[in-house]
Each structure stands twice: as structure tokens, then as C-alpha cells.
A and B are shown apart, each in its own frame.
Chain A
Amino acid sequence: MSRSPFAPNAEADESAMLDAVGVSDVEELFDIPEKDRFDGEFDIEARSEPEVKALVSDMLAENDDLTEFMGRGYYDHYVPSVVDRLSMRSEFLTSYTQYQPEVTQGFLQALFEYQSILVELTGLPVANASMYDTASGLAEAALLASRIRQADGTVVLIPDYVRGDRVSVLENYIAGHDIQIERFATDDGTAGLDALEAAIDDETLMVYVESPTTRGTIEEHLEAIGDFAHDHDAMFTVGSDPVAMAILEAPGDLGADVVVGEAVLGMPNAYGMGLGIFATRDDYLRHVPGRLIGIGDDQDGNRAFTLTLQTREQHIRRERATSNICTNQAWVALRMAMHASQLGPDGLTDLATEMVELPRQLAGELDELPGIEAPVHDRHHFREFVARTDEPAESIVDELESAGFAVQAVDEHELQFTVTETNQHAIPDLVAAVEEVVA
């Protein structure tokens, strides 16, 4: 049997260890009945390190090199090298959850700083140390609403612009609970106040809207929507992201009870891997899912950090825990805090400002072309917008792909374009390619 390169015991040590244990062969230590033994082979060939690198890079080279103008809940921002350098330090990368706070002050402080940055951005006093993604945050918000039951209702109201995958995740989380989802209509790309007013009643448990929305629009009536929800004792949950919240009024100041969303900062495009933010009000502190880092003095009277309020969590409360979440996205949270600090408040507001200007610019240029109208919605946009096309959207997507661009079709005659600082240089080429395709 060849050895694992990551199991360090030399043969001499191994025989000394076997002697100490009192067996002659390590196989004697496996107490597995013969009938349960696996005698086969996986047929996985062992490879050297360079061979594995070649294997994977050859595979990934099969991807088409497209310039992406894609978003709809997942965005590419430039992550400075310092974030990679620092977060890759093995003291961070190869540590576990901070069950022994006395030797993990560094990570605890970093997560405390992450929570603090989220508190500032969301306008809510409690932020957890991360969920998996927006969808799990949204689902946990619905479960939280149902646990608290300040309303008798069981219906979660969701505008029809929300990403379908997100709703599908929510459906899975509520499937075993007495909660139903109802969609309500949008009005020119944002939540329709009339539709919401018609849909909301005492059966409503929670109202969810996004700003910016999946379609890139900025909700202009968050406060009014929150008032609707609270008038019916329903919880008000807002989906947003840290870049947008750097300039938008904090959702917590507009009545949001919970804020969820993607961290966006700290993680470049990684095929959907990110971090779900989750922030809420003090009243719900004991119902918050996931980990919380707090402050407690140590024996010498020094300020120190620790996981706190752990009785909410699965390892103590088991089936009555606020959530089953254990492993979260802590390392991404560390990177998010680094990235936000590297930008600072000026850098972050500048970036956010650009995210309002860039889609305006791109939409303006596309609107000049025949066969395309952009943006569809007469709203303020953030990073992205929907355009209407005369030709079927799917066929335009295919042709643009052949021309080296990736965009999203969101309806039969609707395309969505997302632009950030990472692809803005390609705007002229994109516009030229679209012109050729729609002409």
C-alpha cells in the first residue's frame, strides 16, 4: 500500500506504534465485520502534485473565455491582492470554529469586526457571523418570523422579481412548516404597492423585498412597504448588499426587521460561492440563527472575544435550535471585512456611486441601438438593468456567446446586463457586438 503524502509517520515509527498498541498489523484495529468490508477498488489513480494541477487546469481550460455581463444576485467586484495574501495565512485558513476562544482571539476579533461592519451598513444592531447565501438567509428569516409568531399569519409575501432559484430554496426550508409563499406583482420593476396592499392581510407572516432587486432596480418605497407589513404585525425582511448599502439609506432605519443578502465584497466570481449576510433587531437576538461573536472580559480583566449565546445553536439545543447551521462561511466573512476596510468608507461609497452610474451609461448606449430598448424600467438602477429586445432574447444570448459575451435572458424578449468595475472596460466591445446581433 502506498502512503498518503499527508500522513507523516515513517515505517519505524509505525512499527513502534503498533507495538505500543499491541497489534502486528493496523488492519487488526478495524472492527468491521467481514460482510461489511469493501473489497473492491475505487479505480482512482494516485497522481503527483503537478499531475493533479495539470489535470484540473486542463479541465478548466475547457471553459469558454467569455466576458461576462451577468448578475442577478451574484456579482464580480475586484478583490485587492492584500485580501488574498492576508486571508490565505494558514493561521486563518486552517483553523476551526473558535470553541477555545483563549487561543483564537485573532479570528474572533476579525469576525467581530465583520459583524460590526454589517451593523453599520444595515442599520440593525445584531449581525451574525454569516449564512451560506441570500437564499438561506431569507429562509431563516421566514422561520424566525414563524417562531416568533407575533402575527397569526402563515403567508410569506414575495414580489415576482425575486430570483426563481432563491424562491426554490425558500420552498425547501418552509416545506415542513406551516408557512406558504405568495408572490405579488411588481410595478415597473419594483414592488407594486397596490398589489402588496391587495395581498397583505392578517394571514401575512412576513413581507420580503429587495433593494437593489434581482432586476437591478432600487426600491423607492421601503418605508411604506415596512409600514404595510407592521400594520399587520408581519415581519419585514429586506434583501440588499454591502456595496449598495454604502450609499442607500440603511434598511434598518427604514423599518426592516431583518436584512439578508450576498456579501459581494471579499469574494470574486467563484461560480456562486459567496456569503449570506443576516442582521436583525435586538428583540430577536435569542432567535437569531448561526454564530454570534461577543465580548467578555478575561481573568486578567482584558477585553476578549468569544462565541456567545451558543444555547441557540444545534450543538446545545439540538432539535429546538434556532437553526441547524454549524459550518458557515466564516473565511469569506474574514475576507469581506478585509475588503471593506481596504476600501474604507470613501472607497466603498465611490464604488457604490459607480454602480449607479455604470448601468445608466451602458443602458444609454444600448438604447441608441435599433431593436433594443434599455432600461425597461423607469427606475434608478444598481449594477444591472433589464433591456427589451425585438428579437427573441435567447437567440441574442446565443449569438453574443459566439461573439465572446455572456449575458442573461430573463424573459422571451428581455435581456439583463450587469456592469461593474471588472467589466466596464469591455462596454464598447459589448455594445458593438449587440449592435451586430440585433441589427
Chain B
Amino acid sequence: MRHYDQATFSEDDSPVYERLLSEKFGTEVAVEDTPLPDELTRDTLELPAPAEPELSRHYVRLSQQNYAVETGPYPLGSCTMKYNPPFTEDVAADPSGMVHPDRSAESVQGNLELLYQLQEYLAEIGGMADVTLQPPAGAAGEFTGNRIAAAYHEAHDEGHRSEVVVPDTAHGTNPASAAMAGYDVVEIPSGEDGRVDLEALEAAVGEDTALFMLTNPNTLGLFERDIEEIAEVVHEAGGLVYYDGANLNALLGRARPGDMGYDIMHYNVHKTFATPHGGGGPGAGPVGVVDELTDFLPNPQVDKQGEDFELVEPEQTIGKVHDFKGNWLVLIKAMAYIARLGDSGLCDTSASAVLNANYLAEQIDLEIPFDPFHHEFVASAGDLDASNMAKRMLDFGVHPPTTKWPEIVSQALMTEPTEAESKQSLDQLADAFNGAFNAGDEELSSAPHRTTARRIDQADAARNPRLSWHALDDE
């Protein structure tokens, strides 16, 4: 069985793994002799002042204390951590594209062509009429979608529609985005088969329904086989249907949200098109819409007139959802990835992801209550605490799955290996699952042992928030 130790670098005389920059290099300088009157300026500024070699060592050490896709398997269900090909970084670093966002359309034809090409790719892949690239993350895409729905209803004198319906297995961002757009959220329970319960949906929708948000395959990895009936129920009630693109990677080339009755969708480019997640972002959350809704897209859209690319304002636009043009560097990488794979590569991506998930599921001893799943599955830790199991898995040198969610499976371990893992690494993952699942109580509750930090006292961190090095001054 393979084990692994993470870099620690703790110092003999200090209980700390790597000293803070402020502890090592904190420097206070007086702010004086500026060209501004004294009453406008601060007196002092205290920041770290490491010499560049010291700075390099500090961050290289920190990097060695960080797990990443290039460290090992990262099967976080729903988060979709796949390999990020480095050529996309080179492509994004092209200095020609590094321009100011307010440049005239005539002077940045290259950027606009790239954006237009990506709009076209995404529209084709999702079966949508047009796509905006402005939302800077998936959740921002959801919010944009909600605003588009609101604008559409208002334009049809249906502005009273005040509710967004979501299944109880929806990602937390769905209800949060709807609430941010001012909607009341109505949650419907999943059916016994883990899918949308048509009767519950029929009971929930009505003249107040603005939008129904649903990912597909759903959070359990199951395809919503009734999707066309679902869309019909919502449409008949006068609502629109929103596709959360978190799981689009499972459908690439095999099915398109636009063909199933969805009206609005977002794409998570890091999940579907392999842009790196950078430890939390930046992402990009392009939003696609059907024909009827293209007039409401954010301003501006990139359009092509003859050989020229233009920035145009959609007729009934909702306005802007980002200060500038969104996360440009992320969009280039997504475009480059799609252009590299083409039809057949994209199709293989979903096939390999689904095969990998199904193979891994076969190799583990845990129960998986819902199937047939696709790119991800939700296993149950049974009588064990899923968080404890996850901590023990860390000792095997893998990242654990998403834990304790969705709640429809008790002690859930939501697992998505992605297409990026080989059979060998899936076997290693299975060893970690089984090793942790069959471990004793003591072994589980004291895990992890081989990581930079041992189990962290979350309660203490939340009860006594220390959020900057200033908060440590008193200790």
C-alpha cells in the first residue's frame, strides 16, 4: 500500500511549519517626503521586505506544502479537478493579448476574434443560440442567468414572478445566486430514485415561478431521464429552465442542454475545459441562452460583421456583470483547450471520465446507493464519519472526495476521478478508500498523520477569528 509524506519543514525551536513573511521580514518605514500634503498621507507603512532570494524560498516552501492536481489524484465530486495542460499557459501569456479592456474594438481585433470563436464553440457545445463570456465564475454565471430570466419576464409583463425552484441536491450556489438576484427560493425534495420528482415539481411551479435550476447529470451522477417532461412542466407554468454546467463534462459530445429544453446555462470552464483552478480561482462562467433570450445578454457582445469583429449592445441588455471583460486569461485557456481537443477529443473526455468513475466505483468496498451514475458517484461511509474517512485518505497520498454532501446519501463521499487518472492511479485511489473504510476508530479519529499539519481545530479557529498577522501581535 502506498503512503506518502507531505513536506513539513518545521523548525526545532518553533512549533510552526513555515514562519510568516511578517515574522521573518516585517519592516516598518516612515512615509515622508511624498509630493502630497502631509494631511493626506499615512505616517508609516509596515510590510514584509524580503530580498528576492528569500522571497523565492518562502514561496517555494509554501508550494511544497500544497496538494495539487499535479501532486496526485484530486477526486472532489462536482469540483472536477482535471489535468491542466501547460501549453494553455503559454498561449495565454502571449503579450499581444495583454491590452487594456477599454481599447477600441478596431484596435483589438485579435482579442475579439478569440472571444467570438469561443462564443461560437460554446454555443455549439451547449446547443445554445449565443453565449456571453463576461461572468467571472460559475456562480457569477448563475447570477447572470437569474438576471436574464428576470429581464425576460419583465419584458413580457410577468415581472411578478418571484420564485426560483431548485432540487434539494442543487449546488449551494444555485439558491444563493437566486437569492442574490432577489428571488425566493423553493426547494423540492428528490424522488426515491435520486432524480427530480415530477409530481413535486408540478406542485411547486406556478404563476410565481421564474426559473427552475437543474444540473444534468445531477449531483448523484444520474442523468435526469425525464428532462424533457421537466422542461415542459416548467415552461407550461411560464417559467424558464436553467442548466448548471457543473456536470457538462459528462455529456460532452453526447447530449446538449439546448436540445433537452434548457433555456439558459452556464459553463464552468475549469470543470469542462481544463483551465487551472489556481487554489480557488479565477474561473470563468460563460452563460449561453436560447434564441428568445439573446437580446437580454450582458453588454457588450462580440459580433462579426463581414471580416470585422465588433462590440455590440444587445437590445434589451441586462447591462454589465463585470467591471471590464471578465477573466480574459482564463477564457484564452478554455478556447485553446477546445481547439486542441476538437470534436473527437471532447467526446473522449466524457467517455474516459465516465469509465473512470465506474471503474473506481467497482474497486471500492463502500455502498453506492444510486446508479447508473456517469462521471461521478456518491458513496456512503456507512457507520463511519465521512470527514474522518477523508482525513485518513490524506495519509495515502490522495486528496479525498467531497464529504457529507449531498445529504440525500448518509455520510456521503462524492467522488469524481475525471478522465485525467490512469487505471494505476484509480487503483491507488481505491486502496485509499478501502484502507480508510476498513480502518479502526482510533486510526480514523487521529488522522491525518503524514500531512504538513495534523487535524486542525476548526471550532477554535471560528470562535477566536485570527484573520491577519495583526491579530497575532497579542499572542
Contacts and interface: CB of A to CB of B under 8 A. Distances in A.
Tell me if chains A and B make direct contact, with any CB pair below 8 A.
yes
Nearest to B7: A106
Contact of B451 (A43, A103, A397): A103
Interface in A95-145: 95-107, 109-113, 115-121, 125-127, 129-130, 132-136, 143
B320 A169 contact: yes
Contacts of B142: 324
A149 interface: no
A357 interface: yes
A140 to B, nearest CB: 9
Contact of A320 (B179, B222, B332): B179
B3 interface: no
Given A271-B99, A406-B103, A119 B321 contact: no
Contacts of B96: 57, 60-61, 63, 65
Interface residues of B, number: 199
Given A44-B338, A349-B45, A325 B279 contact: no
A406 B100 CA distance: 9
A340 B183 contact: no
Contact of A302 (B16, B65, B329, B352): B16
Nearest to B121: A44
Contacts of B323: 73-74, 133-136, 163, 165-166, 169, 262, 272
A48 to B, nearest CB: 8
A96 B66 CA distance: 10
Nearest to B352: A7
B348 A100 contact: no
Contacts of A342: 50, 52, 55
Given A63-B108, A110-B59, A360-B35, A324 B139 contact: yes
Contacts of A327: 137-139, 270, 277, 280-283, 285
Interface stretch (B233-241, B251-259, B435-443): B251-259
A70 B99 CA distance: 10
Given A13-B423, A109-B20, A344-B49, A306 B40 contact: no
Contacts of B140: 132, 136, 324-325
Contacts of A85: 56
Contacts of B10: 302
Contacts of B462: 294, 308-309, 311
A300 B454 contact: yes
B333 to A, nearest CB: 10
A272 B326 contact: yes
A332 B458 CA distance: 26
B468 interface: yes
A273 B49 contact: no
B15 to A, nearest CB: 5
Contacts of B336: 52, 56
A92 B421 CA distance: 20
A299 B454 contact: yes
Contacts of A311: 462
A2 B348 contact: yes
Contact of B228 (A36, A44, A318): A36
B454 A6 contact: no
Contact of A119 (B16, B65, B177, B468): B468
A68 B91 CA distance: 22
Given A30-B254, A31-B222, A33-B225, A308 B458 contact: yes
Contacts of A294: 461-462, 465-467
Contacts of B472: 295
Contacts of B67: 91, 95, 100, 103-104
A177 B40 CA distance: 36
Nearest to B140: A132
A262 to B, nearest CB: 8
Contacts of B251: 32
B193 to A, nearest CB: 11
B182 A318 contact: no
Contacts of A175: 147, 150, 181-182
A32 B343 contact: no
Interface string B357-386: 011001100000000101000000000000
B40 A380 contact: yes
Contact of B467 (A8, A62, A127): A127
Contact of A297 (B28, B283, B457): B457
A79 to B, nearest CB: 11
Given A298-B454, A298-B457, A90 B94 contact: no
A36 B62 contact: no
Contact of B454 (A16, A68, A102, A309): A102
Interface stretch (B76-84, B196-204, B287-295): B76-84
Contacts of A291: 280
A112 to B, nearest CB: 7
Contacts of B346: 4, 42, 44
Contacts of B345: 2-5, 46
B452 interface: yes
Most buried by B among A63, A89, A338, A401: A63
15 contacts: A4-B341, A17-B355, A74-B100, A74-B324, A82-B52, A100-B391, A247-B41, A271-B97, A297-B456, A297-B457, A298-B454, A302-B453, A323-B180, A324-B177, A327-B285
Given A52-B87, A305-B453, A308-B465, 17 more contacts: A7-B420, A9-B352, A33-B225, A37-B255, A52-B91, A59-B114, A89-B59, A96-B280, A105-B62, A120-B470, A248-B42, A250-B42, A271-B111, A318-B185, A330-B279, A401-B107, A406-B100
